């Protein structure tokens, strides 16, 4: 392991530790209704975001390319994007803030899992030198962030509906939670579409095909259609509440398979580059 890698992974571990502290404080603040601890958790998470962001920038500088090659850097940047997106959304929509109890731990888990993959820097293949690739990858990260928030609200709905947990009772009304889950799923659906569009333009520019039906493309489409079904059911069939939450969770699992697992198990133009 060379020294830039030690700096890189150490900075990532530092971010993980800060996020863990933020998560513990956040859960403590929310569960025991300690406003001070709850607020502090956000400041600590912001500090973690800064350290984490610097680690990503450092690696970017060392590798000469963005975080879209090795699984390690992909997971790290996904985590960073999810948390940034959540903080921006929660600034404008304060009611979604309790979702931090799901988002914060997801973030440090994503980085920690990423660290266990090979962190070696890989060279950028020529076909990946395209602005469309940057947009393609970025929008999948943004979509994942939105879906993570929707997941938090789907879980909240079930918890609030089924349990008498004290902190859960403090969450917004059930129909509001339900609508947030619906809306953030809609955001995720839209961002997913943008990511697929950017990917298809990139593929067309590189190989003259906008769609190749490779395993990862197919899974991405399966996920998008599934979210389409979820939204369609909500819009036209009045699906809501717990049933909608469970359907969303199925779609979310599909999205996780599409984003993280298909490239590990399948041979495709994507996995050729992203497997490491």
Partner 1 sequence: MKQIKQFLLARKTVLTLILLILAAVVAGYIFPQKFTATEEQFQKWHEAYPFWSQWSGRLGLDHVFTTPWFAALLLIFLVTLTLSTVDQSRFSYRRTFGRGTAPDSEGTRIAASREDIISIIRDAGYGLAYHDESSLKFIRHRWGYWGNALLHAGMAVVIFSSLLIVLTEKRGLIHIVEGDTFLPGGPWLLEETGILGGRFILPDAVRLEKSNIEFWETDEVKYQTTVFSFMGSDGKETRHTVGINLNVNNRGLRIYQGRSFGEAFYVSLTDSAGKEFNRVFNLDHPVKRDKASYGNFMLEGIPYMLKTKYYADAEKRTIDSKDPLLVMRLVQIDQSLGGVTGSGEGGRFKMDIVEKEKVLGEVSLKTGEKKPFGPYAAELVHVAKWTSLIFTRSIGMAGVFAGFFIIIIGGTLTYFMPPREIHAVREGDGFNLTFKSMKFRNLYEDEFKKIIGTFNERKNR
Residues that bind partner 1 (CB under 8 A): 122-123, 125-127, 129-130, 173, 175-176, 179-180, 182-183, 186-187, 189-190, 193-194, 196-197, 200-201, 204-208, 210-215, 218-219, 221-222, 225-226, 228-229, 232-233, 235-237
DSSP string for 56-122: HHHHHHHHSS-S-SSHHHHHHHHHHHHHHHHHHHHHH-GGGGGGHHHHHHHHHHHHHHHHTS-----
Contact 37, 28 (CB under 8 A): yes
Residue with tokens 């929008």: 139
To partner 1, the closest distance from the beta carbon of 28 in angstroms equals 29
To partner 1, the closest distance from the beta carbon of 103 in angstroms equals 19
To partner 1, the closest distance from the beta carbon of 204 in angstroms equals 7
Nearer to partner 1, 31 or 221 (CB): 221
Cα 117 to Cα 58, 262, 276: the distances in Å are: 18, 15, 7
To partner 1, the closest distance from the beta carbon of 30 in angstroms equals 22
Nearer to partner 1, 10 or 267 (CB): 267
Nearer to partner 1, 14 or 93 (CB): 93
To partner 1, the closest distance from the beta carbon of 3 in angstroms equals 18
Give the Cα separation of 170 and 155 in Å (integer): 15
DSSP string for 48-64: HHHHHHHHHHHHHHHHS
To partner 1, the closest distance from the beta carbon of 212 in angstroms equals 7
Nearer to partner 1, 166 or 243 (CB): 243
Give the Cα separation of 103 and 149 in Å (integer): 7
Nearer to partner 1, 22 or 148 (CB): 148
Nearer to partner 1, 180 or 248 (CB): 180
- Rounded to the nearest 10°, the torsion over CA 31, 37, 43, 44 is -80
Element spanning 30, H or E: helix 3-31
């Amino acid at each position: 392991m060379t020294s830039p890698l030690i700096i890189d992974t150490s900075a990532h571990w530092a971010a993980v530790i800060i996020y863990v502290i933020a998560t513990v404080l956040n859960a403590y603040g929310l569960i025991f209704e300690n406003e001070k601890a709850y607020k502090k958790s956000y400041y600590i998470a912001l500090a973690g975001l800064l350290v984490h962001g610097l680690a990503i920038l450092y690696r970017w500088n060392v590798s000469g390319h963005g975080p879209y090659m090795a699984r390690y850097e992909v997971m790290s940047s996904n985590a960073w994007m999810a948390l940034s997106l959540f903080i921006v959304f929660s600034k404008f929509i304060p009611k979604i803030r309790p979702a931090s109890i799901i988002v914060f731990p997801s973030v440090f888990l994503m980085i920690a899992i990423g660290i266990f993959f090979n962190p070696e820097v890989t060279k950028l293949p020529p076909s990946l030198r395209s602005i469309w690739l940057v947009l393609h990858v970025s929008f999948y990260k943004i979509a994942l962030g939105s879906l993570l928030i929707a997941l938090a609200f789907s879980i909240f709905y079930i918890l609030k509906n089924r349990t008498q947990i004290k902190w859960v009772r403090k969450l917004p009304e059930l129909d509001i939670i339900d609508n947030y889950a619906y809306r953030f799923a809609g955001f995720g659906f839209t961002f997913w579409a943008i990511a697929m569009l950017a990917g298809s333009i990139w593929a067309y520019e590189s190989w003259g095909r906008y769609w190749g039906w490779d395993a990862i493309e197919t899974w991405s489409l399966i996920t998008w259609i599934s979210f389409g079904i979820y939204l369609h059911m909500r819009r036209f069939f009045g699906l809501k509440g717990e049933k909608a939450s469970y359907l969303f969770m199925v779609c979310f699992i599909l999205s996780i398979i599409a984003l993280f697992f298909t490239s590990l198990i399948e041979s495709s133009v994507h996995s050729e580059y992203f497997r490491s």
